Chains A and B, each alone.
Chain A
């Protein structure tokens, strides 16, 4: 069975997260997006765990389902589907190791509430789980792995968005140069990494150290609309065990749905406050210093990959899973309408397309272009066609600033629309 799974999101109990991130909304938006299995996020938060316990029912396979009575009634029939929850949480470890401050985020997946409660019990003696759905612990990432494995052998720990400069295992600012430096003798227990928005599989393939490690992708969404901006495609039955096995072994793991890495917030180097956006080459030319303020630039993902890579650009391992690079549908529509993503016009067209064609992933990846044109507009159809074939321009993101998508140039919009009316 083909499953799309987004295993890393946050609840309203996390910092800077939409108040709408409640189980009902996760379930509703998963349907709109076309996600079959969604991570709950934040199981370490006692309030969220209790809410999940109350609002879901176990399916006996390590996954959970929103109670029928809570299901949203306003999901278009074209999108309605079963949505399963997997218990997940993200931990921020901040600690000092080998003479440097380290900040590493880890994603934890567990098959039931008992495991979650046991992990929470142990972690509550280490830090405060109440103040943030993604708690900060002064705990070595390796110790965290040990605690999780001791308490719940079924659980899976995956280093989160591994290239993010400030908060990840390979991050330029507070990460490590190798998995072994971080996890030491426990490194073999790391069987997957989350590549994050600013990197895609080809960038990761350049490190032979990552051979045999499954590259997974999740949205890390803080609001419902951001769900599924990255996701994983499985060919397994819907169960914790089967999905875990697929992640561990790569068998049944078909691949990922990706952001264009340039769109990620840390693809390039630079300084947001100085509006300085540098490619790794340019950074090298400036000796790593910001040409405006003279301080060190925030080194982004591309640069960091370059530094740790031992293979040339373009290397592809033989058994590499597939991946699709997409732009979120709302952004595509915004581009065609020349309006902001959050505007009513974009929202209206988004809903209309979903009504007619089905969920967002279907539209972005599978719906024939002709159908999209009939259901929406020729511009949207053309835009999706271009995204599918990677014909678009992106100004890369840097130092926390998202990259900027550009699908059409100057007059192209009018030309395309004009051509359409000619026939």
Chain B
């Protein structure tokens, strides 16, 4: 027991130890970026179990499956079978569990796509309007609001349609449990059971999740909220950083522990990011301290346009990788002197405020041949061979009995599938036939559909990107939450994009600043902030001004670079002026 006990504290700093051991009263752990938040949570669970808590009394909730997965893996590797029975999962999983225990298992959970179909069926709206309606319904539910007059009709019809089908949407997985738990007899059992509640990313909870937590925890001693109000970036989904700031009122005898030692970023990056975020009012001051060296200054790079942003990034990456082909070797034949010699493509990330910015960057990568992956959106929109095959497989599994697949030829089956899937179109079909002929040899279309499907099953799996692959990540700042990279490029650091919104003032400047802060603090070693002087926006080439946020980063952390317009362009201009 003693040596396992020792492992609970091994490598923890003082504040982390305090966060782990404060179990006799509510505690709010303010965990700045890179301060070992997940580690602390896992050790707290270990501490609780070693202190005699039964695994099924411990509830650890977080927001994404990815975060839950990581937490579970780390817990299991520390505790092994001892941790069996601890609930580690998302709010939705918690809701689902409560529902399953209370009701029978007979309901289905609708995906966003299915929600969309329901709404489309109800009001015969186009795709984008339906999507908006789905979002509005979700917002009403997550904020525990009552629908407005104009929404009421759709909302009620939607709810009725779901009831008819015995279905729930994702928000119902929180709402229905709340209804159940508002029954005092029902809730007492759960309060009895979940004595130790740990909520990760506490700054991101919305009204419904907050209500659910309050019902479960009341003002319980075993309540532990973990998060960073400076990283609250989900207001658009109904999250309210106020819940975090109100923790002290909700749990009057609660303590606050701040994790300040940052194990991720260099001193320069932290200094820049911390100084910036101090311009926010709604926050809890925490002086994040670097444990790494000072590092290089934050490079603030001003480029002619969005294409130059891409080129600068590609050349910086090539510089660190040491050239990607004989034709792109850096001059002098080698990589940067004195630089860390070990870079893979996954050490780099490019982040932007809006998905629309991905395209120009992706094009620069396509030209260079450097592999990149756009996370969270399909920027090109074009289906490639493996996408199509994936869809066809899913269609066959869902809609086609084996007998049918035996009797149809691959060609016939495909014709049906493509029509039903609405990805037919003469060109698309021919492309796939070519594809099948490639894979199966000529005459492949005449083979039995079932054999064809067996062959293609070997070729694709559900994950469309191979996990073994190393690629530069392109993503929105929102997607960066929880991740870290050696080198981070934030593009479009311009007024109107960062902060996002009209020049008169974005809806929520503090939220935008937090988003920028999240982006900056993803970087371990180097941070590049790029802004373009002109950009193609809304159908026009517009002149741009640097983001006001850049001015909030102190000069001591910054190295400014100015990339002039391409000489060719200027020359042409000068020639024009001659005439």
Chain A residues near B (Cβ < 8 Å):
15-16, 49-50, 53, 92, 94-96, 99-101, 103, 112-114, 116-118, 121-122, 124-128, 130-132, 134-140, 143, 166-167, 173-174, 271-273, 293, 295-298, 399-400
Contact between A296 and B345 (Cβ–Cβ < 8 Å)? no
The answer to whether B440 and A114 have CB atoms under 8 Å apart is yes
**For residue B325, which residues in chain A have a CB less than 8 angstroms away from its CB?**
15-16, 92, 132, 134, 136, 167
**B85 interface residue per 8 A CB criterion:** no
* B-chain residues with CB within 8 Å of residue A49 when the two chains form the complex: 438
B380 to nearest A CB, angstroms? 11
Contact with A along B318-354 (1 / 0, CB 8 A): 0001111111010111110100011111110000000
Interface 0/1 of B372-393, CB less than 8 Å to A = 1000000000001110000000
Among B170-178, B407-415, B465-473, B491-499, the stretch that binds chain A is: B465-473
**Contact at A273–B332, with CB atoms within 8 Å?**
yes
Contact A138 B345 (CB under 8 A): yes
Q: Is A117 a contact of B438 with CB atoms below 8 Å?
A: yes
Collect the chain B residues with CB atoms within 8 Å of residue A271's CB.
332-333
Residues in chain A near residue B384, CB distance under 8 A: 124
Q: Are B440 and A166 in contact (CB under 8 A)?
A: no
Binds A, one of B37-45, B198-206, B362-370, B554-562: B362-370
Residues of chain B with a CB closer than 8 A to A293's CB: 332
Tell me which of B334, B346, B369, B464 contacts A136 (CB under 8 A).
B369
B322 and A103: CB pair below 8 A? yes
Residues of A near B335 (CB, < 8 A) are 101
Count A/B pairs, Cβ under 8 Å: 139
**Is B459 interfacial (CB 8 A cutoff)?**
yes
- Most A Cβ at <10 Å: residue of B335, B346, B369: B369
Q: How far is the CB of A293 from chain B (nearest CB, A)?
A: 7
Give the shortest distance, in Å, between A144 (CB) and chain B (any CB).
9
Kindly state whether residue B11 has any CB partner on chain A within 8 Å: no
- A126: min CB distance to chain B, Å: 4
Q: Could you say which of B322, B332, B459, B471 has the most chain A C-beta atoms within 10 Å of its C-beta?
A: B332
**Could you tell me if B471 and A138 are in contact, using CB atoms closer than 8 angstroms?**
yes
Tell me whether B344 and A137 are in contact (CB under 8 A). no
**Is the pair A99, B333 in contact by a Cβ cutoff of 8 Å?**
no
Q: How far is the CA of A166 from the CA of B439 in the complex (A)?
A: 35
Closest chain B residue to A150 by CB distance? B458
Ordered by A's residue number, 25 sampled pairs between the chains whose C-beta atoms are within 8 Å are: A49-B438, A53-B438, A96-B470, A101-B343, A103-B321, A103-B322, A103-B324, A114-B441, A118-B439, A118-B459, A121-B386, A121-B459, A122-B459, A122-B466, A124-B385, A125-B465, A125-B469, A126-B465, A126-B466, A127-B471, A132-B369, A136-B324, A138-B471, A140-B470, A399-B333
**A-binding residues in B (CB < 8 A):** 321-327, 329, 331-335, 337, 341-347, 365-372, 384-386, 434-435, 438-441, 459-460, 464-466, 468-471
CA distance A110 to B322 in the complex (A): 31
Q: In the complex the two chains form, what is the Cα distance from A136 to B345 in whole Å?
A: 11
- Of A118, A128, A132, chain B has the most CB atoms within 10 Å of the CB of A128
A96→B332 contact, CB < 8 A: no
Q: Of B324, B327, B341, B438, which one neighbours A16 at CB under 8 angstroms?
A: B327
Residue of A nearest to B468 (CB): A143
Q: How far is the CA of A136 from the CA of B147 in the complex (A)?
A: 52
CA distance A94 to B329 in the complex (A): 14
Residues of A within 8 A of B470 (CB): 94-96, 137-140
Bound-complex Cα distance A45 to B369 (A) = 12
B369 close to A125 (CB less than 8 A): no
**Contacting residues, chain B, for A92 (C-beta < 8 A):** 324-325
Do A95 and B322 have beta carbons less than 8 Å apart?
no
Closest to A136 in B: B369
Q: A103-B322, A114-B441, A126-B371 known; A298 and B327 CB under 8 Å?
A: no
Q: Which residues of A contact B347 (CB under 8 A)?
A: 96
Query: Considering the chains assembled together, what is the distance between the CA atoms of A295 and B386 in angstroms?
Result: 46
Chain B contacts for A128, CB-based, 8 A: 365-366, 369, 371-372
Tell me if B369 and A166 are in contact (CB < 8 A).
Answer: no
A50 vs B329: C-alpha distance when bound (angstroms): 31
Q: Which of B331, B337, B369, B438 contacts A131 (CB 8 A)?
A: B369
Complex Cα gap A121–B458 (Å):
11
Q: Which of B331, B334, B435, B460 contacts A296 (CB 8 A)?
A: B334
Contacts of A124 in B (CB 8 A): 384-386
Give A137 Cβ to nearest chain B Cβ, in Å. Answer: 6
**How distant is the Cα of A122 from the Cα of B468 in the complex, in angstroms?**
11
Q: A101-B344, A167-B325 are in contact. List 5 more A-B contacts (CB 8 A).
A: A95-B344, A100-B341, A124-B385, A130-B366, A139-B470
Alpha-carbon gap, A131 to B434, bound state (A)? 21
Query: Which of B337, B346, B384, B465 has the most chain A CB atoms inside 10 A of its CB?
Result: B384
* Nearest chain B CB to A135 CB, angstrom units: 7
Q: Are the C-beta atoms of A138 and B344 separated by less than 8 Å? A: yes
When the two chains form their complex, are residues B326 and A96 in contact, meaning their CB atoms are under 8 A apart?
no
3 closest Cβ contacts across the A-B interface?
A138-B470, A96-B344, A117-B438
B459 contacts which chain A residues (CB < 8 A)?
118, 121-122
Q: In the complex the two chains form, is A273's CB within 8 Å of B333's CB? A: yes
Given A124-B385, A126-B466: A298 and B334 within 8 A (CB)?
A: yes
| A190→B329 CA distance, assembly (Å) | 28
**Which residues from chain A contact B435 at a C-beta distance below 8 Å?**
117
The interface residues of chain B lying within 8 Å CB-to-CB of A101 are: 321-322, 335, 341-344
A96-B342, A100-B342 known; A166+B329 contact, CB < 8 A: yes
Smallest CB–CB gap between B498 and chain A, Å? 28
Q: Please measure, in the bound complex, the distance between the C-alpha atom of A231 and the C-alpha atom of B468, giving whole angstroms.
A: 34
A116 contact set on B, CB distance < 8 A: 438
Q: How far is the CB of B552 from chain A (nearest CB, A)?
A: 34
A136 and B371 contacting across the interface, CB-CB below 8 Å = yes
Q: How many angstroms between the C-alpha atoms of A58 and B441 in the bound complex?
A: 11
List the A side residues contacting B329 at CB < 8 Å.
166, 400
Tell me, in angstroms, the Cα distance from A99 to B329 when the chains sit together.
21
* Residues from chain A with Cβ under 8 Å of B466 in the complex: 122, 125-126
Chain B nearest Cβ from A227, distance in angstroms: 18
For B439, give the chain A residue with the smallest CB separation. A117
Distance of A140 from chain B, by nearest CB (Å): 7
Nearest CB on A from B355, distance (A): 19
Contact B324 A94 (CB under 8 A): yes
Q: Closest approach, in angstroms, between the C-beta of B319 and any C-beta of chain A?
A: 12
Chain B neighbourhood of A50, CB < 8 A? 434
CB distance from A187 to the nearest CB of B (A): 19
B326 and A400 within 8 A (CB): yes
State in angstroms the CA–CA spacing of A132 and B345 once bound together.
17
CB within 8 Å for A121 and B371 given contacts A126-B469, A273-B333: no
Residues of chain B with a CB closer than 8 A to A103's CB: 321-322, 324
Name which residue of chain A comes closest to B341, CB basis. A100
